Chains A and B, each alone.
Chain A
Amino acid sequence: MSSAEKSPWILHYNASSCNGCDIEILAALTPLYDVERFGIINTGNPAHADIFVVTGSVNEQNKEVLKNLYDQIPEPKVVVAVGICAASGGVFRDCYNVSGGIATIIPVDAYVPGCSVRPEALIEGVVKAIGVLEKKRALFDNGGAK
Chain B
Amino acid sequence: MTGRRTVIPFGPQHPVLPEPIHLDLVVEDEFVVEAIPSIGYVHRGLESLVDRREYADFVYLAERICGICSFTHSSTFCQGVEGLMDIEIPARANYLRTMWGEYSRLHSHLLWLGLFADSLGFESLFYNAWKIRESILNEFEATTGGRVIQGACKVGGVCRDVSNEFLSGMDKRLDDIETEMQEMTKVFLSDYTLKKRLVGKGILKPDDAYNLGAVGPVARGSGLAMDVRTSGYLAYGDIGVKPVTTSGCDGYARCEVRCKELFQSADLIHKIIVAMPDGDIATTVKGNPDGEYFSRSEQPRGEVVHYLRGNGTKYLAQLRVRTPTLTNLPSLVVMLAGAELADVPQLVLTIDPCIGCMER
Contacts and interface: CB of A to CB of B under 8 A. Distances in A.
Summarize A's interface: helix, strand, loop or mixed: loop
Contacts, number: 126
Interface in A5-23: 12-14, 16-23
Contact of A31 (B44, B64, B127): B127
B103 to A, nearest CB: 15
Contacts of B148: 20, 23-24, 116
Interface residues of B, number: 45
Nearest to B135: A32
Interface string A93-108: 0111110000000000
Given A13-B20, A31-B127, A44-B15, A18 B65 contact: yes
B283 interface: no
A88 interface: no
A17 B41 contact: no
Number of contact residues on A: which range applies?
35 or more
Contacts of A45: 15
Contacts of A12: 18
Summarize B's interface: helix, strand, loop or mixed: loop
Interface stretch (B25-33, B66-74, B92-100, B223-231): B66-74
Given A18-B70, A92-B45, 12 more contacts: A16-B359, A19-B19, A20-B67, A23-B68, A30-B127, A31-B131, A44-B15, A44-B16, A59-B42, A94-B49, A95-B45, A118-B147
Interface of A: 12-14, 16-24, 26-27, 30-32, 43-46, 56-57, 59, 61-62, 65, 69, 91-92, 94-98, 115-116, 118
27 contacts: A12-B18, A13-B20, A14-B18, A14-B42, A14-B355, A17-B42, A18-B66, A18-B70, A19-B67, A19-B68, A20-B66, A20-B67, A30-B126, A44-B16, A59-B40, A59-B43, A61-B41, A65-B20, A91-B64, A92-B46, A92-B64, A94-B49, A95-B46, A97-B44, A115-B64, A116-B149, A118-B147
